[in-house]
Structure 1
Amino acid sequence: MIVWLNGTHGAGKTTTSTLLQPLLPDARVLDAEKVGEVLMDIKPGLRATDNFQHWQPWRLLVVETARRVLEYTGGTLVMPMTVLVERYWREISDGLTEYRIPIRHFVLHADQATLRDRIQNDKDMGPSTFRFAYLELYAQAAGTWLHDEAEVIDTRGATPAQAAQQIADSVLDS
């Protein structure tokens, strides 16, 4: 099974995934961003883009990487990754479904003011124009398709540990 943690930058996906992993039997964290980093390291580089998700190989390789890791290890993969383009989510989720890999899709949600505050005051990364740039895209996706496609976890006023426990309870209860 894959437990996909979606949401915009600053929602707490990486922290929550780290806390969620020990709550699920035989779980591992696979950050799909690392697949993008591999593609960014190709020399000479692939065509210019502001986001590696626009490269079709990224979406295909995320599916193949998850499939191969699960084939090798079994268990559950917790995958923290922002995907705000519906077509890209469909390519990934359809690809995983073709391999009969169940997906539990969660969105870590917070309102725009909370997200802005988290990004502005991030002690590890500091304020990030890249992360701020995705707030509007997240709001558009949340209002059109994303919240309909996933279980929404409201992180306003919740700690990452509480969000992780809520997700674990949902996964283990099903």
Structure 2
Amino acid sequence: MLVWINGAFGAGKTQTAFELHRRLPGSHVADPELIGYGIHRMLPPAARNDFQDRPQWRTAVVATLADAVDASDGPVIAPMTLVVPAYFDEIMDGLHSRGIDARHFALCPRPETLRRRLRQRSGYALGRVVGRSETWAMAQIDRCVTALSSERFAHHISNDDLNVDQVVELIAEKLGVELSGERLSAARYQVRRLTVGARHIRF
């Protein structure tokens, strides 16, 4: 099984993915964004546009996620914003054609919730590069929210008023899988949240 966690920037994809991973035995997190950054590192700066527009990114995502599913003892979890319908269909169809049980969830908080979260995230940002990244993410909110509202991107999870534990448990229920381990205490969760966030700051 592959679990794709979609959503606008600031929706909580990464935190949800890693908390689901913590509580789902044998699972593995595979971030498709890493393939995009690898492509960018091989290109001169002038060619580093949106890597999702590159066919080789989409092809590599399908092939690499398929390999991850084959090698994993449990579900593979892919947190990634993917809102262009043609790209979404290409990747999901590619996964299904390889016999992969690909499940999709879109975290769909309201735009004002996303803006608040991104402003809070900027408060923890390290350096000007990260600040620019959050500004760019803020500008993508309306585009992402509008696209993800389509039935193509179901299952939708409105997580304005849900914490990460509640989202993880809702996803597990819809997947029909049993979680292990208990919820973290508030203090331990904050430490883990900051650790996961720091590991995913892109410079």
- When normalised by structure 2's length, the TM-score is 0.78
Which residue number corresponds to residue 57 of structure 1?
56
CA distance in 1, matches of 2:9, 2:138: 8
Larger-gyration structure (1/2) = 2
- When normalised by structure 1's length, the TM-score is 0.90
Paired residue total: 171
Which residue number corresponds to residue 20 of structure 1?
20
- Output one character per residue of 1:55-107: Cα deviation in whole Å (capped at 9) or x when no partner: 11111111010111222224210100000100000110011011010111000
Question: What is the CA RMSD across the aligned residues, in angstroms?
Answer: 2.0
1:10-159 maps to which residues of 2 (within 5 A)? 10-44=10-44, 47-49=47-49, 51-122=50-121, 123-125=123-125, 128-143=134-149, 145=150, 147-159=151-163
Change beyond 3 A, Cα 1:88–1:46: farther
CA distance in 2, matches of 1:73, 1:139: 32
Deviation larger for 87-96 or 35-44 = 35-44
Identity %, equivalent residues: 32
SS at match of 1:121: helix
Unaligned runs of 5+ in 2: 179-203
Unaligned runs of 5+ in 1: none
| Larger RCO, structures 1/2 (Cα 8 Å, 6+ apart) | 1
CA drift of 1:169 comes to: 1.6
CA distance in 2, matches of 1:31, 1:150: 20
CA drift of 1:23 comes to: 2.7
